[in-house]
């Protein structure tokens, strides 16, 4: 969508990332719940140092969403869109950026997890973008996978 600019996240974006994360309606976790999982503003610098891919979607001059990918785990670890910007292509743009980056890092199959509740909109979103549920459920999360579309059966 025109107007969306995806850029690498900077250390100064940590506040915007946590603000977006705290505003989402589905898969909402409080600051305390995030901290229990080791997800704190102080962790952000370590993620940068560890080579995580992190992006911010800017739309209309505001941070509209973010994505975080972990290449060593071939995982899209987080993708969240501020509720004020839903339905404007922000999630799709972030997803495409993270997927392309993970595949460029040499990941052949990438994965993500999302809440297992079938009412979560994330299921339809990921399936619409070519992700497939593995059926594996762990701690109320379901796993999705996607294979690098540029690989053929002859590449193995």
pLDDT digits (tens, 9 = 90+) for 105-129: 999 999 999 988 888 899 999 999 9
- Could you give the C-alpha distances from 137 to 4, 39, 114, 115, in angstroms and in order? 33, 22, 10, 9
State the Cα–Cα distance between residues 8 and 147, nearest whole angstrom.
24
Name the percent of the chain lying above pLDDT 70: 95
Q: Exposure of 53 by Cβ count < 10 A (0-12 exposed, 13-18 middle, 19+ buried)? A: buried
Supply the pTM of this predicted model.
Answer: 0.89
Domain map (residue ranges) of the chain:
5-147
Q: What angle do CA 110, 152, 71 make, to 5 degrees?
A: 20
pLDDT digits (tens, 9 = 90+) for 39-72: 888 888 888 888 899 999 999 889 999 999 999 9
Given this model, what pLDDT does residue 110 score?
98
Q: What average pLDDT is seen over the chain?
A: 89
Other Cβ atoms within 10 Å of 155 Cβ, number = 8
Contact yes or no for 63/57 (Cβ under 8 A): yes
pLDDT bracket for residue 149 (50, 70, 90): confident
**DSSP letter at 87?**
T
Given this model, what pLDDT does residue 117 score?
87
- 5-147 classified as CATH 2.60.40.3080: no
């Amino acid at each position: 969508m025109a107007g969306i600019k995806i850029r690498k996240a900077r250390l100064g974006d940590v506040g915007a990332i946590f603000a977006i994360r705290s505003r989402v309606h589905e898969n909402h976790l409080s600051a305390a719940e995030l901290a229990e999982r080791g997800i704190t503003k102080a962790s952000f610098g370590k993620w940068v140092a560890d080579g995580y891919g992190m992006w911010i979607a800017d739309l209309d001059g505001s941070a509209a969403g973010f994505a975080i990918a972990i290449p060593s785990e071939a995982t899209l670890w987080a993708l969240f869109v501020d509720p004020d910007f839903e339905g404007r292509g922000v999630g799709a743009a972030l997803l495409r950026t993270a997927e392309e980056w993970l595949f460029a890092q040499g990941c052949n199959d990438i994965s993500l997890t999302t809440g297992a509740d079938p009412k979560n909109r994330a299921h339809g979103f990921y399936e619409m973008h070519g992700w497939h549920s593995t059926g594996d459920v762990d701690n109320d999360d379901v796993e999705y996978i996607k294979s690098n579309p540029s690989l053929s059966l002859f590449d193995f």
